[in-house]
Every structure is written in structure tokens, then in C-alpha cells.
Structure 1
Amino acid sequence: MAEQTEKAFLKQPKVFLSSKKSGKGKRPGKGGNRYWKSIGLGFKTPREAIEGTYIDKKCPFTGNVSVRGRILAGTCHSAKMTRTIIVRRNYLHFVKKYQRQELNLHSLWLSSLYSLRIEYEGPLSKTVRFNVLKVIPAGSSGGGKKAFTGM
């Protein structure tokens, strides 16, 4: 099933491991020794979630969290925490007094993986509220030149 590195035995809650049959079904949640699901919203289930061995109860593809709320994009700022990253989002704020816009930053704590598609899933832990849906490699944004690269 998965490489056991924790003291507790890791398993997916919706998979029965003591089956006498060795069914290798590919339907979501049926047969085999792996549970995965399609979350919809135009996101394909990654091959690693279908054929991989990792176990994460807070993963939107293999865990028991549902996708809800808004879908955002941002860039990875720090990946020092275990299975958690910090994403920085830049936005413009209009200052009425000076009739100008200023660049503000907002940080989000995410469960999992760098430019990203992220979505709200409610509280996953004390500080984490969002989850990574799709990783967009750097330089493949397709938008020509970047805005605010001098900051």
C-alpha cells in the first residue's frame, strides 16, 4: 500500500486491505487497494493520486475533504514546513487620498506542494485553510512579461 514511516499504521479509510480477492478496478473508489476521486471543476486527477502510494487524509483527490469556495492562484514563497507551503499573492489597493494604487501582499498557508492553483476547503488545521489543486511550472504562464517583477 504505502511506505510506512509513521508509528501508526497508515491506510486509506475507504479501502479494505484484508480482501481475499485481488481486484484491480480502475473506477473511483472501487476495487484495487487505492481510493481516489475526480473533484470536477475542470481539474484532472493526477496520475500520482491514482497509481501512487502516498496517504494523505487532507488531499482533495485521495482524502476525505471536499472542494468548495473560490479558486485562487499565487506563487510559492516558502516550502519549509512539512507538507505545507506559504503562498504570496500580490494585489493593488487604491489609496483615495493620493489617487494612486499601492502594491500589497497577502500570505496564505497551504497544505501540500510551486505558481499554483489553490482552493478553499475550510479548516484543515489551526492555520491551514487552502489546498493545492494544480502546480503550474515557472515560465509556462503564457502571459508574456510579468507584472511587478521589480518588487
Structure 2
Amino acid sequence: MNNKTKVRKEVFGISAPERAYDSQYYDKKCPFTGGLAVKKEFLKGKVVKRDTNKSATIEWHTPSYVKKYERYEVLRSRLRVHNPSCIDAQVGQTVLVARTRPLSKTKNHVIIKILDEEIKIPAESSKDQKDDLGKKESTKRSTKKSTEESDEESTEESITKSTDEESYLGDVENNESS
């Protein structure tokens, strides 16, 4: 670690990540490795977009009651935040964000903690979807085959029933004529 960089051990009871102690992750806009002051206003959201310039977009949903329809609607809120290199939140993770001074034209918040480690990699999820589609198609095919087989069985049963009825009717007609 450089003598120039000092790591703040905790911010509002949240301890610094282990990566913050490595001099490689110094960021002047980080509350742990830089001198960024953090205000006591926190938000929790899910990272939906991540940029290369240490920025991220978080999103959270809040229910709102609509009196006219006597129902709730879900409102979506988005916020641009600074993503320090010592934290490096990925898309799909739930994070805790704190308010700071204006960092740029649109950024007034910084990520201070990753709450949830859930990450979905788009490449893997698309493969899973393709696999699921393949399974659905195969089940459709199997159900088509089974319905065709059941249709064949039902037609065979109807043929045997009709021949039984004809033979019965033939017996009844023979008895009536005699």
C-alpha cells in the first residue's frame, strides 16, 4: 500500500472491502480509499447496467396505490451511481448506495456495499433458455405423438363399437322378422 493512500476502515458501520487495502484499487471518488464524504442517506437497489467508466445504474421497485382502480401499480426508479474499483459491483447484484456530493452531472451516489451475491451471466442464461425451448419442443412433440396414438385408439374403439352395434341391430332385426 502507498503511504499516500489511507484506507478508511468503516463508513457508517459498514467495513471496507478487503480489496480496498490493495494500492491497485485507489479511487479518489471512493468513500474507503479516497477522501469522499458520505451523507447518511441510503438506498438499496439492483444493478441493471454497468459502464466502463466506474458508473452503474441501479433500479428498485415500489408499490403505489391507485385509488380509482383500487389496485396497486409497481413504480420503477433508476439512479446513476459511482461504482468504485474496490467494490466493483456486477449486473444482477443487490447493493447499498449512499448519497454524496455531486460526482458528475448525473451521479450523486456511491455504492458502499454489495448485499447480495446473485449474478446472472447473460451468455449462460441464453443457453438455458435455448435448452428450455428445446425441452418444450420435445414435450410438444411427445404430446402430439401421444394424442395421435390416443386418437388412433379411440377410432379403433369406435369402429369396434359400431360393428358391435351393427351386429346387435342385425340380431334385433332378425328377431323381429321371425
- With the length of structure 1 as denominator, give the TM-score of the two structures: 0.65
Q: Equivalent of 1:92, from 57, 63, 77?
A: 63
2-side partners of 1:97 and 1:122: how far apart?
Answer: 40
Moved over 6 A (4+): none
Q: Work out whether 1:63 is the aligned partner of 2:34.
A: yes
Q: Equivalent of 1:120, from 84, 99, 109?
A: 99
Q: Shift in Å at residue 120 of structure 1?
A: 0.8
Name the Cα RMSD after superposition: 1.9
Q: Work out whether 1:138 is the aligned partner of 2:93.
A: no
2:18 maps to which residue? 47
Q: Equivalent of 1:129, from 108, 111, 118?
A: 108
Contact map agreement 2:99 2:109 (CA 8 A) in 1 = yes
2-side partners of 1:130 and 1:54: how far apart?
Answer: 19
Q: Work out whether 1:76 is the aligned partner of 2:16.
A: no
Amino acid in the other structure paired with 1:54: Y
Contact map agreement 2:59 2:77 (CA 8 A) in 1 = yes
Contact map agreement 2:41 2:99 (CA 8 A) in 1 = yes
Contact map agreement 1:90 1:104 (CA 8 A) in 2 = yes
Q: Shift in Å at residue 106 of structure 1?
A: 0.5
Contact map agreement 1:39 1:67 (CA 8 A) in 2 = no
Q: Which runs of 5+ in 2 are unaligned?
A: 84-88, 120-178
Q: Equivalent of 1:104, from 68, 75, 79?
A: 75
Contact map agreement 2:11 2:31 (CA 8 A) in 1 = no
1-side partners of 2:17 and 2:117: how far apart?
Answer: 15
1:6 maps to which residue? none
1:27 maps to which residue? none
Contact map agreement 2:57 2:80 (CA 8 A) in 1 = yes
